[in-house]
């Protein structure tokens, strides 16, 4: 049936690409595109436009039927990559100049993360599919942070948000001396 030329693979869920076929002699038959697993990818039978549906690997197939020579097929693998995920953000409360209890968020699919809204003295890092936020805040206030996944497929849950509340130290004004008479 010829040679199938692959479109873009791996593909993110929801993405589209086009497969083509060359060297086809229909001999009075007709050709159509299909997928070996429609739950992973769907294919427009006449155009070869492939839509990624879910993570996994299947084959994109071109089949010639009818005419001389009977049924012939050609295929190429197609891989769909899962979208990024990150666990929900976590809220923390601490006192100024006191370390926060470390925040760990599980991720999948990404190759890194960016961080915004963290108080001075607190940093974020990404390694081995885990986001870690830790440190000692040096300013007080309420800080709404956002973690955004980078790399991979960004069509899934790609951000997490939370709040770090940093309370100032208790304060009291200096005592005042007074002098008075008894019973006054």
Taking residues 157-161, what's their average pLDDT? 89
Predicted local confidence at residue 31, as pLDDT: 83
What percentage of the chain exceeds 70 in pLDDT?
Answer: 93
Confidence of residue 179 (pLDDT cuts 50, 70, 90): confident
The rounded mean pLDDT for the chain is 89
Give the residue with greater pLDDT, 9 vs 32: 32
The predicted-structure confidence for 15-72, as pLDDT tens digits, reads as follows: 899 998 887 666 666 789 999 999 999 999 999 999 999 999 999 998 888 766 677 8
Predicted local confidence at residue 149, as pLDDT: 93
The predicted-structure confidence for 91-118, as pLDDT tens digits, reads as follows: 999 999 999 999 999 999 889 999 999 9
Is residue 2 pLDDT above 80, yes or no? no
Beta strand pairing call for 92-95 and 159-167 = parallel
What length does the chain have? 184
């Amino acid at each position: 049936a010829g040679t199938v030329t692959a479109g873009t693979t791996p593909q993110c869920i929801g993405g589209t690409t086009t497969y083509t076929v060359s060297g086809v002699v229909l001999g009075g038959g007709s050709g159509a595109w299909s997928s070996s697993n429609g739950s992973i990818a769907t294919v427009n039978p006449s155009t070869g436009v492939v839509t990624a549906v879910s993570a996994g690997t299947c084959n994109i197939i071109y089949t010639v039927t009818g005419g001389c020579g009977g049924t012939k097929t050609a295929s190429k693998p197609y891989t769909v990559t899962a979208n990024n995920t990150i666990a929900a953000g976590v809220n923390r409360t601490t006192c100024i100049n006191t370390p926060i209890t470390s925040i760990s968020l599980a991720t999948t699919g990404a190759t890194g993360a960016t961080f915004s809204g963290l108080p001075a003295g607190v940093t974020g890092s990404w390694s081995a599919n885990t986001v870690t936020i830790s440190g000692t805040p040096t300013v007080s206030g309420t800080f709404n942070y956002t973690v955004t996944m980078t790399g991979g497929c960004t069509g899934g849950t790609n951000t997490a948000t939370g709040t770090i509340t940093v309370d100032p130290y208790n304060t009291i004004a200096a005592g005042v001396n007074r002098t008075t008479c008894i019973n006054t």
